Structure 1
Amino acid sequence: MFSALRPQPWTATAGGLWWRCRALGTVRFSSSPADSDKNGNPEVTGKFRDTILLPTTSFPARLSGKQQLEKELEIQQKCSFTELYLWQRERKTKKEFCLHDGPPYANGDPHVGHSLNKILKDIANRFQMMRGYRVHYVPGWDCHGLPVELKALTDLGEDAQHLSTMEIRQKAKMFAEKAIENQKSAFVRWGVMADWNNCYYTFDKKYEAKQLKVFQQMYDKGYIYQDYKPVFWSPSARTAVAEAELEYNQQHVSRAVYIKFSLSKMPRKLTSLLDGLTPVSLVIWTTQPWSIPLNQAICYMPDSEYSAVKCESTGEHYILAADRVEPIAEALGKEFKVVATFKGINLEGGSFVHPTIPGRELPLLSANHVSMTKGTGLVHTVPAHGIEDYSVASHHHLPVDCLVDEDGCFMEEAGPELNKKDILTDGNETVIKMLSATNSLLKEEEFVHSYPYDWRTKKPVIIRASKQWFVNVADIKAGAQELLKKVKFIPASAANRMLNMLNKRTYWCISRQRSWGVPIPVFYHKETGEPLMNSHSIEHVIKLVEQHGSDVWWELSLEELLPRTVLKQASRNADAIHYTQGQDILDIWFDSGTSWAYVLEGSDQKADLYLEGIDQLGGWFQSSLLTSTATRKKAPYGTVLVHGFAVTEKGNKMSKSVGNVLSPSVVINGGNDETKEKSYGADVLRWWVAEANVFMDVSIGPAVLDLARNDINKLRNTLRFMLGNLRGFKSETDAVSNTEMYVIDQYMLHLLQDYSSKVTDAYKEYDFGKVTRLLLTLVNRELSSFYFSIIRDRLYCEEEKNPKRRSCQTVLAETLDAVVRSFAPILPHLAEEVFQHLPYLKEPVSVFRTGWIKSSSMWKKPGLVEAIEGACAMRDSFLGSIPGKNAVEYDVTIVIEPGLLFELMESLQAEETSSTSQLNELMMCSQTSLMIEVPRDLPSDANIINGSFLINLEGGGISEETAFKVITQLASRERCPRCWKYTASSLLTPCPRCLEVIAEK
């Protein structure tokens, strides 16, 4: 609050709105002749009601849930939503915007994650289309692989094991087709713009052929090879899985053990140091006891410190990392005495006895992957079941024998005690008993930790060596990383994350042991097992697939798949009868990762934008980059936008098993019980997507959706005000030129130009949350709280065709147009609904077929900013001094010494005292006086507020701070029965302005 004792400085700059609108809930404005009725319509009574130009429109202030649903479906039909994509594709323009759709899995109902992704894409596409770009957007579906196959076979139970490959494929395809139609209808309902009759599907025969062509090119360049090495394996799905297909259970419980391995051969460098000690053992800790029978070595870190310790209770001697002596002693409940300390390199040349296989001696080996932060600093090494272990085995030529089958059970070669036992359950139990029987077990404990699970079956995975097909990422990633540095990432931090992921990756397992997918086109010799695959054999399969689809791999005979002509080209004299076709299919990440080759047009085959969830940094973004880099040394995208996941309002992950999944269908249409599950409509869902910080996890629930609907209802009220006050206005004949407008109207256009520029930039940066914030600020602050409250008197009480009324109507028309276009990509149904109610259009037109915001650079007038902002400084001084009072009950006198500020105020009010000037309109009182000194005849109840206003012009080159006084006193005249301003000579006679208007009527 301002007072004579506390002057308030104000600052104006020539560059836009600086002032802060007060929260003026305690001040009543009555510059219009009424309060509002319960529906928000101005309420005027008495014989002058018919002379007031009240807003009139059939556009409703709000819609009930059912009305909203009916209106959206009506708008989609009336405005030809389904035809919009084809219409814009036929436009003649050289500007093209391509958003390549990452294919969702065709394995279930649409969920809010789909909503988040598809609506974000649609907002981007609609904005670019309105800007005049021809949008290229082809929706797609990932149809192959385990996600679909599992769902298709779920109801069959054990009977599924008896199905042939083709029976499985047929059931999987039928399931995928049904899921696609279900998801597609949902996307259409959300208002997503596309040609829904021409989508891409990874089971389409032409798509499969393109995919195999990329495979062929990578094979010809030497990037694809077969090898026997450990990969992530899902026993529950009986197939290899990619790292991107893992989810980590943070509460997994393992049976961890501390085991001693007796030294059988003392390392040469330790002979003198440990001479004479009783037998010495190496201590290891593992969370996978089942793997002990498969052990091939123990690894140590060569540069780290190790200690030999004596166990005071047993007299035994153990070797472990020096830094781990105390923690391990505490864990075992023992007391250790350090006998000697030495570098790990001194363990070189030693060997130990296998704890469960009598007489088997194994080496101690140096390795750099050994951790000193947990365990004992000595690592039990099983080459067939560990990635780092395999590297050690490759370097030291250790055997990599896998004795675990596809179901995760020990094979017969593991021994009779373990044969056919599940390694994670009874196999684990048996191994622990074997260790105890040989006195090798020091301790067993439950250990809770993060462990990888198959994200489809929700069961643990293992690492298991098997013969698979791989992409040599090591030879591709350097080029991929260089290309990635030229890609724009939103947010920028995602780039480093993806670069780091690539840096750690050396190979990509692309073979899967399933039925539903594109076959790897390889043949194996029946006797030798030698693979046959080359350009000629692959090319022949590609032609067959292009004509008939990938089913031919299982339907045609070997002679048709591998004819003699192909064998001759491969310099093979054998017949097809000597071969059998491979049964592995390609990884679905290879399926989707080659989509650029099929979908993207032009020689460049590059999308402007890829937009997917953060999990795709290790998935589709990466597989697309690797395949594109390998075949043509180009990135398939120019910009990558990464969004988070949809979570509950408490921040929890949505899960069907927990029962906290929110269906977008229920969000739109409501549930069985409307009191618990309200219907919000598609636009509320779209607003939720747009306003959220999508670069993090996005919460959704009733509270969030209620807030979204409230925002839209506030927006509807603002739109309704503008529509209602444009009745009778025709822009082609009634619009007022910018130079002839009221200064406050010019100022509003100035703000509108600034808003349009900022909104456009926000859309360009895909910052849709900023768009909603800018929109709500304009609607709630600049329009509703400021401009509308000032112009009501002009709109309602001036003569209909008065230039000053037409002036603000011109601004309302421009503002309505700009506002609707600015939110149209986000709320397409509401935008089209508004355009159906425009009073000055003979025939309704689609907002999406008429372009982007048509703001004018002529609206940008920094010179008038100082005048309005100076008046606003004085206005806020006045309003702040009358809390709870009606502003129109007062007369205001503004006192300013001669100078620049006074001249600015004179431009708003030429005469000394006025009840109709622009300055008076801004002050919102009954009468305003502009003077250079305080009047001598002030009444005793007058209140004087001191303040100052700083004007900066030409970037601060001209700066002038001027003091002002705002003097308030109760209005001296009677209230006008028509406009309710205190400007009449009596309560029964209208004021001079109103008399003049009435006379004209």
Structure 2
Amino acid sequence: MSAMCGLLLHGARSCTSSRRCHGTGSGEVNGQPAENGSGNALYRDSVLLPKTEFPMKLTGQKLLDRELQIQQECGFADLYSWQRERKAKNKFCLHDGPPYANGDPHVGHALNKILKDIRNRFEMLRGRQVHYIPGWDCHGLPIELKALGDLGTSGLSPLQIRQKAREFAEGAIARQKAAFQRWGVMADWDQCYYTFDGTYEAAQLKVFQEMHSKGLIYQDYKPVFWSPSSGTALAEAELEYNPEHVSRAVYATFPLVTLPPKIASQKVNVSVLVWTTQPWTIPANQAVCYMPNAQYSVVKRADNSEKFLVATERTASILFLHLFPLLGSLLEGGICKHPTIPDKQVPLLPANHVTMVKGTGLVHTAPAHGMEDYSVASQFKLPVECMVDEDGTFNELAGPELQKLSVMTEGNDKGIKTWKRGKNTGCNALLKEEQCVHSYPYDWRTKQPVVIRPSKQWFINTESLKDKAKEALQKVRVLPESARSSLLTMLDRRTYWCISRQRSWGVLIPVFYHKESGEALINKYTVSHIAQLFKEKGSDCWWELPIETLLPPEVLKKVKAGAASDYVRGEDVLDIWFDSGASWAAVLEAESDSRADVYVEGKDQIGGWFQSSLLTSVAVRNKAPYKSLVVHGFAVSEKGEKMSKSVGNVVDPDVVINGGKPAYGADVLRWWVAESNVFSDVQIGPSALIYLLATFISPHQGVFKVTDAYSEFDAGRVIRVLQAFITRELSSFYFSIIKDRLYCDAEDSLGRRSCQTVLEEILDGVTRSIAPILPHMAEEVYLHAPGHDKEETLFKSGWIKSSSVWRRPGLEEAVEGACAIRDSFLSSIPGKNAARYDLTVAIEPGLLFELMESLQEEPTSTTSQLAELMMAARVNLATKMPRDLDPEALLNHGTFLINLEGGVIREESAYSIAVTPTSAARCPRCRRYTANSADCLCPRCQSIVSQAH
């Protein structure tokens, strides 16, 4: 038991007025139902049974109406503004990651928004001024596609496309915002941020301009992830990897025309054997790479005389006969004949990215269609020739037979058939074909495979930011800590970030191109001017205004350029991850620290918003935009499956609240979030919600030490602490022992009023403790609870107010000792009614005896706090067992370790107990076995009844 036991038993003050307890009583006295016998009926009106106007259960429409009524009565809509205006020493900033404005609210939104709101409400109750500005990510291809529907972009101007996309996004925002408000999320809903707002776009361009001025943003022609289905470049964060993708893998032969010395001395004709899962890239081959320190072998086919060069480690998987080995470094200088292009030769080159996991240990290298391949090309000055157009088809460089064919389907098929026949080269270029199931990148929006192809794009040099970002991340607290390694891994994987997109709906990259030279015009003067225009007019002005306004003479003079008519405006927009990643500049810069205390998002943002925010902030300010990161899981079905409309396992939060059978209301949805382990995937479904409803706690409960749990985003621990306290300390213990005092003592007695005070404190503490999770229920309880002004609301009245007055030296130890004795007593009479027994407690003189004396001053008592704790008819307290002890008495023994003043005083004391059936009769009023005869009131009740008359 904690020190709170002292509060439960004594109370340190009494109520200022006598009043009946607000409780859940059901007409019981001392655990036994009140009877209607004539004797009991005489005293029924003198028993103070609990009464309350609080509705014990509301269901269906009544529940929904009551929640909305509470939101109105308790000022949910004004709470955020109220707390922002009050004076507060400390502030708490939770920066809202913008949800995507492309659809209706779903349970993923509920998990995220409610988790944030629980923490915000807790911090507000603690007296902190909460900064929380909800936002929406409004640009991007999914919104554009949904807005246009079957119309497509054909015949529509960029401004027409943008108008339709804006209207669609605004509709989605309105629906999502209404849902978030219904869930009880506290915010100033009139002051949200939107990435399509001109002020936001201007702040974003300021970040862009500062990064460009530092040389971190540049234009280049190099391979990027390209989505033929979307017609745009993609960043790593916009990819989904399909682990079940099936490719037609081939072994291709590259005949050696210039042999390395070691092979030349053997006087053999050898072909280099490579393996690739992307045969369509073979025409773009510029080299074959090897691992310098690996062992290679010249091998011979078992069925003919063909000889090949492969890694020794990989020969077992290909089943060749070994001829002789050589070290990879000896392959330097070798030159191969291109397998599909006559008269073309390609070199053997060393490379660090070659592995022995699959294939032959020799890597086909097409710089136009691979990131690592491009690095090799940069190092050895190889050409980068792109044979694939933006629609994913071969272009004229691939030859007339392949031109206009899709590289992933019919073009790949046609190429494999052609190369197998040896057409163009006069030999069989492909030795073997097999199916390969592997992970492959898909466009996360269209769910179609992407290709890697070179394109002239705008990039951020993340390689130069990586070390600074890692250093900044070391100062950030991450929950759970295991997510930190994923964050670091994602940073390591990203050497550059492609930030340009070939779409209409987005923030325009403020660049102009010279009509003749194609040279880009972009600097701090042009970008600053465009940012100011965007702030005043929004980014639509990029198309609406004449170029002379976008490039006025005063700007052209500063940059020493020609006339505005010499330039055309660029048409690429910024990656939406740059949009949202710059939100710190638009939302947090006004704050004194300009950093958020915490960012809270799902695990998909490890490579998304968390990273883009970190990179942009480190680039501009040399610090992370957040002090802490909280990474939560996804909402999944009850079977742990990803939710899908086609599967039919989607849970709509609106149906959970309003349209289910039953309708659960918002607090059950919030309870689901709080009760879940949010650091893993969170399951939800009908049976889970029914379980939650069944275990939904009543308002009359208690709590301690929940502050740390809320601070750790562990609302589940709050619930577990509450439930344990309610089950053990209250329901099984305190409520049982106080019923007699509460119901049967005189109405204005000090003991009863003290008990009411304790109950009031418990109710208040529990209500405040659960309030961040269940704000509707907490406010309703507060409306019915005594002790405050009628117009006051719980959330405006602060957190739990603890007081040292409740602590009395030695009281905690006294109660703990008494509870140890109580356990021994109850274990002596298993299944029996303790009220029918007398208890004798024998303790040798010492500290434990003194502690028990503080609970019972008299040697024998039926009304002491010790007797109340034991729930016995009578308790006798002595230093030794009496000589005339009933020989039928049940004996038990035990010890209790007293620990006072932090361990300074430690004493183990023994005690003995004797249990005998009481000889007293049951009192017809209080039902305790403390009366002299069955038709006579006990002394306590006799005094109370006589005073009443």
State the TM bucket, normalised to the shorter chain. Answer: over 0.9
CA deviations on 1:339-363 (whole Å, 9 max, x unpaired) are: 1112111111111122221221111
Partner of 2:925: 978
* 8 Å Cα contact 1:687-1:826 kept in structure 2: yes
- Cα distance in 1 for partners of 2:3, 2:136 equals 53
Q: Which of residues 238, 263, 270 in structure 2 aligns to 1:270?
A: 263
Partner of 2:664: 680
Partner of 2:582: 594
- Cα distance in 2 for partners of 1:956, 1:925 equals 32
Partner of 1:142: 137
- Cα distance in 2 for partners of 1:487, 1:16 equals 40
Moved more, 419-428 or 685-694: 685-694
Partner of 1:214: 207
* 8 Å Cα contact 2:923-2:934 kept in structure 1: yes
For 1:715, what is the secondary structure of its paired residue? coil
CA deviations on 1:434-461 (whole Å, 9 max, x unpaired) are: 2211222222222222221111111111
For 2:105, what is the secondary structure of its paired residue? coil
Partner of 2:21: none
CA deviations on 1:940-960 (whole Å, 9 max, x unpaired) are: 542112222222233334332
- Name the structure, 1 or 2, with higher relative contact order (CA <8 Å, separation 6+): 1
Partner of 1:32: 29
Partner of 2:91: 96
* 8 Å Cα contact 2:27-2:49 kept in structure 1: no
* 8 Å Cα contact 2:634-2:682 kept in structure 1: yes
- Cα distance in 1 for partners of 2:786, 2:88 equals 31
Counterpart residue type for residue 244 of structure 1: A
**Number of residue pairs matched?**
919
- Cα distance in 2 for partners of 1:523, 1:351 equals 44
* 8 Å Cα contact 1:31-1:793 kept in structure 2: no
* 8 Å Cα contact 1:477-1:503 kept in structure 2: yes
Change (3 A) 1:563 1:269: farther
Partner of 1:314: 304
Structural mapping, 1:657-736, within 5 Å: 657-671=646-660, 674=661, 678-712=662-696, 714-716=697-699, 718-719=700-701
Partner of 1:735: none
- Cα distance in 2 for partners of 1:482, 1:467 equals 32
Partner of 2:285: 295
- Cα distance in 2 for partners of 1:424, 1:284 equals 20
Counterpart residue type for residue 74 of structure 1: Q
Q: Which of residues 631, 640, 656 in structure 1 aligns to 2:629?
A: 640
Partner of 1:232: 225
Partner of 1:927: 874
Superposed CA RMSD: 2.1
* 8 Å Cα contact 1:30-1:980 kept in structure 2: no
* 8 Å Cα contact 1:913-1:930 kept in structure 2: yes
For 1:982, what is the secondary structure of its paired residue? coil
Report the alpha carbon displacement of residue 656 of structure 1 after superposing the two structures with TM.
2.7
- Cα distance in 2 for partners of 1:659, 1:400 equals 47
For 1:705, what is the secondary structure of its paired residue? helix
Is 1:784 paired with 2:731? yes
Unaligned runs of 5+ in 1: 1-11, 18-28, 38-43, 330-335, 720-751
* 8 Å Cα contact 1:105-1:147 kept in structure 2: no
* 8 Å Cα contact 1:14-1:952 kept in structure 2: no
Report the alpha carbon displacement of residue 536 of structure 1 after superposing the two structures with TM.
2.2
Structural mapping, 1:413-492, within 5 Å: 413-438=397-422, 439-492=428-481
Report the alpha carbon displacement of residue 142 of structure 1 after superposing the two structures with TM.
0.5
Counterpart residue type for residue 947 of structure 1: G
Unaligned runs of 5+ in 2: 7-25, 423-427
* 8 Å Cα contact 1:13-1:952 kept in structure 2: no
Partner of 1:725: none
Report the alpha carbon displacement of residue 703 of structure 1 after superposing the two structures with TM.
2.7
- Cα distance in 2 for partners of 1:689, 1:492 equals 21
Structural mapping, 1:433-582, within 5 Å: 433-438=417-422, 439-573=428-562, 575-582=563-570
Report the alpha carbon displacement of residue 36 of structure 1 after superposing the two structures with TM.
6.2
- Cα distance in 2 for partners of 1:14, 1:528 equals 81
* 8 Å Cα contact 2:262-2:326 kept in structure 1: no
Report the alpha carbon displacement of residue 33 of structure 1 after superposing the two structures with TM.
4.2
- Cα distance in 2 for partners of 1:886, 1:792 equals 15
Is 1:797 paired with 2:792? no
Is 1:305 paired with 2:295? yes
Partner of 2:332: 348
- Cα distance in 2 for partners of 1:970, 1:326 equals 86
Structural mapping, 1:355-434, within 5 Å: 355-434=339-418
Counterpart residue type for residue 872 of structure 1: C
Report the alpha carbon displacement of residue 60 of structure 1 after superposing the two structures with TM.
2.1
Partner of 1:125: 120
Change (3 A) 1:939 1:826: same
Is 1:836 paired with 2:788? no
* 8 Å Cα contact 1:477-1:502 kept in structure 2: yes
Identity %: 61
* 8 Å Cα contact 2:40-2:924 kept in structure 1: no
Is 1:656 paired with 2:645? yes
Partner of 1:771: 718
CA deviations on 1:674-711 (whole Å, 9 max, x unpaired) are: 2xxx3211111111112222122111122322233233
* 8 Å Cα contact 1:31-1:980 kept in structure 2: no
Change (3 A) 1:859 1:419: same
Moved more, 590-599 or 435-444: 435-444
Structural mapping, 1:877-892, within 5 Å: 877-892=824-839
* 8 Å Cα contact 2:819-2:869 kept in structure 1: yes
CA deviations on 1:384-419 (whole Å, 9 max, x unpaired) are: 111100000100111111111111111122111111
Is 1:900 paired with 2:891? no
Report the alpha carbon displacement of residue 195 of structure 1 after superposing the two structures with TM.
0.9
- Cα distance in 1 for partners of 2:69, 2:757 equals 30
Q: Which of residues 907, 912, 915 in structure 2 aligns to 1:960?
A: 907
Change (3 A) 1:862 1:309: farther
- Cα distance in 1 for partners of 2:150, 2:743 equals 68
Report the alpha carbon displacement of residue 832 of structure 1 after superposing the two structures with TM.
0.4
- Cα distance in 1 for partners of 2:614, 2:809 equals 48
- Cα distance in 2 for partners of 1:512, 1:52 equals 78
CA deviations on 1:636-656 (whole Å, 9 max, x unpaired) are: 222222211111122112223
Report the alpha carbon displacement of residue 608 of structure 1 after superposing the two structures with TM.
1.7
For 2:63, what is the secondary structure of its paired residue? helix
For 1:607, what is the secondary structure of its paired residue? coil
Counterpart residue type for residue 903 of structure 2: G
Counterpart residue type for residue 384 of structure 1: A
Counterpart residue type for residue 775 of structure 2: P
Report the alpha carbon displacement of residue 433 of structure 1 after superposing the two structures with TM.
0.5
What is the TM-score of this pair, normalised by structure 2? 0.94
Change (3 A) 1:219 1:860: same
- Cα distance in 2 for partners of 1:482, 1:185 equals 40
Moved more, 100-109 or 473-482: 473-482
For 1:445, what is the secondary structure of its paired residue? strand
Moved more, 514-523 or 46-55: 46-55
Report the alpha carbon displacement of residue 877 of structure 1 after superposing the two structures with TM.
1.5
Report the alpha carbon displacement of residue 35 of structure 1 after superposing the two structures with TM.
4.1
Change (3 A) 1:518 1:191: same
Report the alpha carbon displacement of residue 16 of structure 1 after superposing the two structures with TM.
9.0
Partner of 1:248: 241
Counterpart residue type for residue 127 of structure 2: G
Counterpart residue type for residue 66 of structure 2: K
What is the TM-score of this pair, normalised by structure 1? 0.89
* 8 Å Cα contact 2:3-2:807 kept in structure 1: no
For 2:154, what is the secondary structure of its paired residue? helix
Moved more, 923-932 or 340-349: 923-932
Change (3 A) 1:70 1:15: closer
Q: Which of residues 44, 49, 60 in structure 1 aligns to 2:44?
A: 49
